Amino acid sequence: MSSFPLQGRKTLPARGQPWSELQEAMSALRSADTDWRRGRASLDVYYAGEDVLDVARRAYAMFMSENARAPQFPSLQRMQDDLVQISLSLLGGGREAAGTVTSGGAESALLAVRSAYRAFRARRPQVRRPHLLVPASVDPVYEQAAEMMGLDLIRVAIGGDYRASVQTLSQCVELETMMIVASAPSLPFGAIDPIEALGRLAREREVWLHVDACIGGFLAPHVARFVPNVPRFDLALPGVRSLAADLHKFGYAANGVSVLLYADADDQAHQAFEYNQWPKGTWRTQTLSGSLAGGAVAAAWAVMHYLGETGYRSLAQRVMHLRDRYLEGIERIGGLHVLGQPDLSVIAFGSDEFDIHAIGDAMQTRGWQISRLSAPAALHMTVTPVHDQAVDAYLDDLARCVLTARK
């Protein structure tokens, strides 16, 4: 049943409208949106410059009507194969590794859980209700996956360093544990979980370890070339069986494209679904959705080839330099403290002296889009290249808001 009342419901216009009117109407609609080109958004937009955006836009337009899942477009299948191979080369995939292009991190997560479930069922069919075991910082999409598949999910406390606690997780592994999920990094705190140690635990206890690297997957490999001791989380680590990374984040592609990678193609085989009692014939798919925007695939392919290794490394250097400027600026403001030690570009900071959300409210009145944490109370952001034009203004306004709060 529709939740919209019949009276006043939006209907099709009686006659079509010219583009000039539509453009004006859409410009008016977006007038209240955050101006992300000026670096005032704290999340959700990954902007590497007009040149990269233009490449993505042109590539997207070339394939905007095509379905990348359809077999009649081998060009898009070739692009997907290239995206998977490039991703595997960056993220530790060996000769047996394989992967799939998905519509985003949520689909990657759902498919990974489904693959782990089918593998678990093949090995332990007697277990009535398997469960996922995750740190409290893991993305809620795994709760969604568990609910959709009739599984349980057990969240456990993280350590004082805002990372998964290997000791706590090890105490919670049971016969019913089918999967452990770790983050690289977690969205709330920006800390990469101790994947190497979790891999050892997963192997010892025969549990599937999945790494959610949707944020860091296409940033960390480039950062690791110039920043020492970035924690590893890739497929080459023993025990890691699957890994998800979003191309529309630090791959700087158009929205709607991610990869789900497996250390062993045998595990990917659990992902497939097949039905052969349909009048049209056998239907087989590797994914949940029947369609995938051809434009998103083409844009990701084009941006990756446009930037290349040197372009991504240069952007990574800018991001980490900006992150350090934010961290230093926040620490200089009395009463604020950064939560933990962010490994990449996600930052969270709070206060023991005053209401940090009141500071967030004050920042919003100054035109900043503010992301927040509730436990613990904190303000939050993901640093991207576009913030180079906003970092000083942000820190100045933050200092003024804190001063006002003190008074």
User: Residue 267 in contact with residue 16, Cβ under 8 Å?
Assistant: no
114-124: pLDDT as tens digits: 999 999 999 99
Q: Which class does domain 58-302 fall in?
A: alpha beta
What angle is formed at CA 360 by the lines to CA 355 and CA 363, rounded to 5 degrees?
A: 130
pLDDT value, residue 153: 97
Strand partners, 133: 154, 180
For residue 338, what are its two tokens? Answer: 């950064």
Per-residue buried b or exposed e for 207-246, using 16+ beta carbons within 10 Å of the residue's own CB = bbbbbbbbbbbbbbbbbeeeeeebbbbbbebebbbbbbbb
pLDDT value, residue 5: 67
Q: Where are the beta strands (DSSP E) in 68-200?
A: 98-102, 131-135, 152-156, 177-183
> In this model, does residue 83 exceed pLDDT 60?
yes
d(CA 59, CA 251): 15
194-249: pLDDT as tens digits: 999 999 999 999 999 999 999 999 999 999 999 999 999 999 999 999 999 999 99
pLDDT value, residue 299: 98
> In this model, does residue 285 exceed pLDDT 90?
no
For 24, other C-beta atoms within 10 Å of its C-beta total 12
Q: Which class does domain 308-406 fall in?
A: alpha beta
d(CA 102, CA 218): 15
pLDDT value, residue 406: 83
Which range among 2-16, 140-154, 265-279 shows the weakest confidence by mean pLDDT?
2-16
pLDDT value, residue 310: 97
d(CA 160, CA 345): 20
Average of per-residue pLDDT values in the chain: 95
405 falls in which pLDDT band (50, 70, 90)? confident
- Domain range annotation of the chain: 58-302, 308-406
> In this model, does residue 35 exceed pLDDT 90?
no
The CA dihedral of 115, 294, 56, 140, to the nearest 10 degrees, is -30
> In this model, does residue 259 exceed pLDDT 90?
yes
The answer for residues whose C-beta is within 8 angstroms of residue 270's C-beta and 6 or more apart is: 114, 115, 116, 118, 119, 122
> In this model, does residue 181 exceed pLDDT 70?
yes
Instruction: Enumerate helices (H) and strands (E) in the chain, giving the number of each.
Output: 12, 13
pLDDT value, residue 284: 86
319-376: pLDDT as tens digits: 999 999 999 999 999 999 999 999 999 999 999 999 999 999 999 999 999 999 999 9
4 falls in which pLDDT band (50, 70, 90)? low
Q: Do the domains 308-406 and 58-302 match in fold?
A: no
pLDDT value, residue 3: 64
Q: Is the peptide bond before 238 cis (omega within 30 degrees of 0)?
A: no
Rounded average pLDDT over 256-264: 97
d(CA 303, CA 48): 10
d(CA 251, CA 259): 11
Which range among 20-29, 41-50, 145-154 shows the weakest confidence by mean pLDDT?
41-50
> In this model, does residue 407 exceed pLDDT 90?
no
Torsion sign across C-alpha atoms 102, 230, 338, 170: positive
> In this model, does residue 2 exceed pLDDT 70?
no
User: Residue 47 in contact with residue 385, Cβ under 8 Å?
Assistant: yes
173 burial type by CB count under 10 A (0-12 exposed, 13-18 middle, 19+ buried): middle
